[in-house]
Every structure is written in C-alpha cells, then in structure tokens.
Chain A
Amino acid sequence: MSDQLQNTLSYLSSELNRIQTIAGTLSSIETQHHKDLTNMGDDKLNQIAIEEQSASRQLGEIKEICLALSQKVDEMQNEIQ
C-alpha cells in the first residue's frame, strides 16, 4: 500500500511539474502575443491583446498553484518515507 501511495505521489509530483512548465511557457507566449497585437495599433486587436494579457496572468496563477501543490505532495512523500 505504501509503495502504491509513493508511486502515486511521485506521479502527481511529476505531472504537476509538467503542468507548471507548460503553464509558464504558455504564459510567456501569451505575453508575447499581447505585445505583438498592441503594436498593431488597432482598437479591436488591442481588446484581444488585453485578453491575452489576462490569460497570461491566469496561466501564471496556474503555475503558482502547481508549485504549491507540488510542495504539498513532496511534504507528503517525505512524511511517508
């Protein structure tokens, strides 16, 4: 049972790190889109750019959540060991 739990926690930890990396990458891409769209100087594109910027921020939030969850999983792993 303990082995199974350890394996599950390792899996969770690894996936959380992966999601965190993906969220970070997507956040950077959204930020770049925001800059590119703003440079076009069009009102409609500006509105899309603002939404891209907000999306970037929310991806940053997901990254933070993943980090916090990953830490909790690590703590659980340490406790079991």
Chain B
Amino acid sequence: MFNIVSSFSRKIANEVVDKALERLTRDQYTENIFEMVPVAKKVGIINLMENVMRAEKGIPPGRPLGSHMRFSPWDKLLFNPVHLHRFPTPENVNISSSVTIGKNAKKPLTISTPIMIAAMSYGGALSKKTKIALAKAASKIGTATNTGETGLMEEEREAASLLIGQYNRGGWLNTPDKYKRLDAIEIQLGQGAQGSTPQRTAAKNIGEEYREVLGVSEEEDALIHSRLPAVDTKEQFIELVRKLKDETGVPVGLKFAATHHLEKEIQIALEASVDFITIDGAEGGTHAAAPILEDDVGLPTLFALSRAAKFLAKKGATNDVSLIATGGLVTPGEYLKALALGADAIYIGTIAVMALVGDQMTKVLPFEAPTSLAVYNAKATEQLDVDRGANNLFNYLNAATQEMSLVCYSLGKTSLSDVSASDLCSLDPFLSRALGIDLGYVAPEEQEQFFEGFTDLPLHEMAQINENQSPEQQIH
C-alpha cells in the first residue's frame, strides 16, 4: 500500500516540478515568478515582508524578539586553554559559580549562577503562566528573575525566591508598598530593542488581571513614557537612587540601552552611588518593537560591555559596582565571554523563553509560533504547562552553567568570576584593539610590533588589503 502511495506521490511531484521549471525557463523575466529571488536578495527577505506589512497597515510592524542582526561578533573571540605553563584545574575541584550583586548594599543579592532571567513584563510581554514558570525555574536553580516594566504580580513574587523589580517609566512599581518587597531594584531608563522610546498598550488589550497589576482604570491605556516620571534632571535621578537605597537597603541599579554615550551615563550613575549597572545591547529582545528601533538604534552588547567595564576600572569602581550585561546573548560560550569581558552577571530573555517552551512547542507547531504559548493575549497561552516549562528552563540553566564550568577547568580557574579578558584571544585585529585582547594570529610578545605596521597604513590601503584577502582573512 505504501509503495503504491509513494509511487503516485512521486509521479505528481515530478509533474509539478517539471511544469514549474518549464514556466521558469520560458516566461519573460518581468513576468517570471523567479523575479522574487533577485528582489528578495536585493532588499532582503525580511525587509521585503516588513515593507509589505507597512504598506498594508500604514503603521510600523511590531517585530517580536528583537533584531535579526548579530552586531556583537562573539564568534571572533576564543578561550585559551592551559596545559603546562599554567595547569588546568583538577577535576575534583568544584567550580564556584555564585555571584554577589551590590556588595556594598545593606542587603546584597547573592545568586548561585551568574545567569539571571531578563526583564520581560507580565502583560506588556508575557502571560501570567509564563512569568510564574520563569520565576519557578529561577528559584530552583538559585538565581533571580526580573519583573520587567509592570506592577508587582503577587503570584510572581510568591514563585520567585529572588525578584529584581523594575522601577519603571510607566510608574506601576514605583510606590514603597511595592518596591519594598523586592530583592533588588533596577531603575529602567531604556532597553536595547527600543532605546528610550515611549510605548503604549491600548486599553482594549489590557485584561482584568493585568489591569489590577498595573493599577489602571478600564478605559486607561498603559503608557511607558520616554522619561521616568519626576526625573528630568540628573540631580533628581541621584536623589531617587539615594532614596531607594535608604528606604529598602537592597541593591539599587540603573538599566539603560547601550549607547555611544555610555560613559557619560555611567558617570552620573556613579555619582548616584548605584550598586549595579545593567547595559542592554542593541541585540536585546522584546515582545514587539518597530524594526527601526531594533535594527538602527543602540550599541552592540559586546562593545558596550567592554567599554563599561573599562570605564568602571578607570574610575576604580569595579569592586563596588556590579556590571550586568544583556541583549542577544544566546549560548553558554557567549555568557562566559561576557563574564570574561567584565560582566558580573548576565540576563537572558529570548533564549530563556525558548528553553521554557522547549518540548511544548509541538502543541502549536506548525500552525502557530512557539511564542504563542508564552506571550500575553496569544492564542495558546493557556496550553503552557507551568511545571514542565519551569523544569525545562531549570535544566537549561543547569546545563549552561555546567558548560561554563567545563571551560573553567581548561583555563585553570576555580570560579566563573575568575575568568578574565586575558583568557581570551581574538581572530579580528580591530576587535583585538578595541577590546584590549591579544590577536590570536600573532604571538603575545609580537603583538605591538604587528600593530605598529597597521597604524602607518592609510585607511584606503587597509581597505585594499582587506579586498585582496580571502573571506576568512578579511578584517571586518
């Protein structure tokens, strides 16, 4: 029976393909469906479809999960194992993974792995079930989860043993009765995927429970302003930080979108004596944002992190202020590279949600996106199994931490926090210079000599050298 069906299907497929090829070769190019291929290549398939969406609706398309562009060249960095000049760590030694955020706060926040769950708000982004599952997984592994820009959801507070809350531009968590119940406060001034752009959720998209968490009326839209309410000067920001520190005793930090002005922003944060700084790179994810904000705004996570770490070191603040990196980090290798470049901890968002829905994707595929299990008001949010999702994410966090520990053995380190920039080399000369990491092509003692030749070359000659090299050798 199978053979008959198979043979029949092959015949049909053969006929269809033959007819299609016939049309593709005979039709004039202007009338040929193949025209889509050069057009898609010229403008890009994503741009093509997003332009069609713009033309259809007349409003910016809300693209989920952040930019598709990979601005941070993490793959151009590699770790350097040791063998004899320094010995690897013996296998019976435990690799310490715990991190303390806000060491100088009255109540510092200690987590058992440097990976935390990023700010993804209830309602503004995720469903209640998803937020609870994220909190359960974080508690089980011993790390913190983040409220995102929303109010305080009781169920999330109960499920999370360590909850970082965002003092936000919507104002929904900004009262003492709410922020005093947090384990750390992150003052949110912007995010990687959207900069400091204002956002609005229409009243019709706000359900009853979400409305209660926000504390808004039935007809009221949820507005995220571009500025924090009542913070219009740097003095007001400094005053706010001091007030929150005095009132709560928990670590108080600043989160902002990575920007070329980051040193100036951090300088003000240091004047305010923040306990931590969270930098969200341009690759940061989101529930939905206009493509221009995701693709054309901000600074890549890798460069922002490196610059921030260098600035804190220059100011002698490395030990006093914890640095948290986030935005587009998706593999344990990238997490560890971020730690090596100076981050004390990292947030993961998109990949945490993907790990959470993990084996439950089959409930919606192939007709709906996997995120429809997790996003607020999506078609399949009720189908998410919270405990199964929490277990999936717990397993993921455990595996990712273990993978980072494996590299530590090879580097001869006993703690994830001991991994530093000197454990890395770069495969890109410009990256090597920008990050202050040795170029892997050249012996350590010949680095300066190698780069001396580069500095004498005018820019157009550099470009010519680049063009004459094979793709693998090109300087990007």
Contact = CB atoms under 8 A, between A and B. Distances in A.
Contacts of B395: 47, 50
Given A54-B142, A63-B98, 11 more contacts: A27-B94, A53-B402, A54-B141, A56-B94, A57-B113, A57-B401, A58-B142, A60-B96, A60-B112, A61-B110, A64-B100
B333 interface: no
B398 A54 contact: yes
A21 to B, nearest CB: 14
Interface string B101-137: 0010000101111000000000000000000000000
B142 A57 contact: yes
B404 to A, nearest CB: 11
Interface in A48-77: 50, 53-54, 56-58, 60-61, 63-65, 68
Given A57-B97, A60-B96, A65 B110 contact: yes
A11 to B, nearest CB: 22
Contacts of A68: 100, 103, 108, 110
A54 B390 CA distance: 14
B394 interface: yes
Closest 8 CB pairs of A and B: A61-B98, A61-B112, A58-B142, A57-B112, A64-B98, A58-B112, A50-B398, A65-B110
Contacts of B113: 57
Interface residues of A, number: 16
Nearest to A31: B94
Interface of A: 27-28, 31, 47, 50, 53-54, 56-58, 60-61, 63-65, 68
Interface of B: 94, 96-98, 100, 103, 108, 110-113, 140-142, 394-395, 398, 401-402
9 contacts: A27-B94, A31-B94, A47-B395, A50-B394, A53-B398, A57-B98, A58-B112, A61-B111, A68-B103
Contacts of B98: 57, 60-61, 63-64
A32 B469 CA distance: 51
A57 B142 CA distance: 8
Contacts of A64: 96, 98, 100, 110
Contacts of B398: 50, 53-54
A70 to B, nearest CB: 14
- Interface centre among B98, B110, B140, by most A CB within 10 Å? B98
Given A61-B112, A65-B110, A54 B394 contact: yes
Contacts of A65: 100, 110
B108 A60 contact: no
A36 to B, nearest CB: 14
Contacts of A54: 112, 140-142, 394, 398
